[in-house]
Structure 1
Amino acid sequence: MDLIKAIIIAIIEGLTEYLPISSTAHMGFTASLMGMQETEFLKMFQVSIQFGAILSVVVAYWKKFFDFSNLKFYYKLAFAVVPALVLGYFLDDKIEAVLGNQIAISTVLVLGGVVLLFADQWFKNPVIHDEKGISIKKAVTIGFWQCLAMMPGTSRSAASIIGGMTQGLSRKAAAEFSFFLAVPTMLAVTVYSVFVKTWGKGTPNESKGYEMIFSSSENITVFVVGNIVAFIVALIAIKSFIGLLNKYGFKPWGWYRIIVGIGLLVYFYWFK
Structure 2
Amino acid sequence: MDIVLLLKALLLGIVEGLTEFLPVSSTGHLILVGDLLDFNDERGKVFEIAIQLAAILAVCWDYRQRLAQVAQGVAHVPREQRFVFHLLVAFLPAAVLGVMFHHTIKAYLFNPITVAAALIAGGLAILYIEKRAYHPRVQTVDAMSWQQALQIGFAQSLAMFPGVSRAGATIMGGIVFGLSRRAATEFSFFLAIPTMFAATFYDVYKNWLLLRLSDLPLFAVGFAASFIAAMLAVKALLRWVASHSFIPFAWYRIALGLVVLFFYRDQWGSAFGA
**Structure 2 length-normalised TM:** 0.89
Partner of 1:44: 46
* Correspondent of 1:6 among 5, 9, 15: 9
CA distance in 1 between counterparts of 2:267 and 2:94 reads 36
1:126 maps to a residue whose letter is: P
Partner of 1:153: 163
Equivalent residue of 1:247, what SS? coil
CA distance in 1 between counterparts of 2:96 and 2:110 reads 23
Gaps of 5+ in 2: 74-79, 269-274
Preserved CA contact (<8 Å) 2:16 2:30? yes
After superposition, give the CA deviation of every residue in 1:182-209 in whole Å (9 maximum; x if it has no partner). 0000000001111x21xxxxxxxxxx33
Gaps of 5+ in 1: 198-207
Preserved CA contact (<8 Å) 1:48 1:193? no
Partner of 1:204: none
* Correspondent of 2:251 among 246, 250, 255: 255
Partner of 1:18: 21
* Correspondent of 2:184 among 166, 174, 188: 174
Partner of 1:246: 242
Correspondence 1:96 to 2:109: no
CA distance in 2 between counterparts of 1:147 and 1:247 reads 28
1:132 maps to a residue whose letter is: D
Identity over the aligned pairs, expressed in percent?
39
Preserved CA contact (<8 Å) 1:25 1:153? yes
CA distance in 2 between counterparts of 1:271 and 1:80 reads 36
| Higher mean C-alpha deviation, range 230-239 or range 92-101 | 92-101
**Aligned residue runs from structure 1 range 76-87, under 5 A:** 76-87=86-97
Q: CA RMSD in A?
A: 1.7
Preserved CA contact (<8 Å) 1:146 1:156? yes
**Structure 1 length-normalised TM:** 0.89
Partner of 1:232: 228
Partner of 2:32: 29
Structure 1 178/104 Cα, relative in aligned 2: closer, same or farther at 3 Å? same
CA distance in 2 between counterparts of 1:126 and 1:250 reads 15
| Higher mean C-alpha deviation, range 109-118 or range 239-248 | 239-248
Question: Runs ≥4 in structure 1, deviation > 6 angstroms?
Answer: none
CA distance in 1 between counterparts of 2:121 and 2:25 reads 12
Per the TM alignment, residue 216 of structure 1 is displaced from its structure 2 partner at its CA by: 3.5
1:223 maps to a residue whose letter is: F
Preserved CA contact (<8 Å) 2:91 2:191? yes
Per the TM alignment, residue 155 of structure 1 is displaced from its structure 2 partner at its CA by: 0.2
CA distance in 2 between counterparts of 1:106 and 1:256 reads 12
CA distance in 2 between counterparts of 1:98 and 1:105 reads 11
* Correspondent of 1:183 among 190, 193, 204: 193
Equivalent residue of 2:136, what SS? coil
Partner of 2:153: 143
Preserved CA contact (<8 Å) 2:56 2:196? yes
Preserved CA contact (<8 Å) 1:123 1:166? no
2:162 maps to a residue whose letter is: P
Preserved CA contact (<8 Å) 1:98 1:152? no
2:121 maps to a residue whose letter is: L
Equivalent residue of 2:259, what SS? helix
**Aligned residue runs from structure 1 range 117-132, under 5 A:** 117-132=127-142
Partner of 2:173: 163
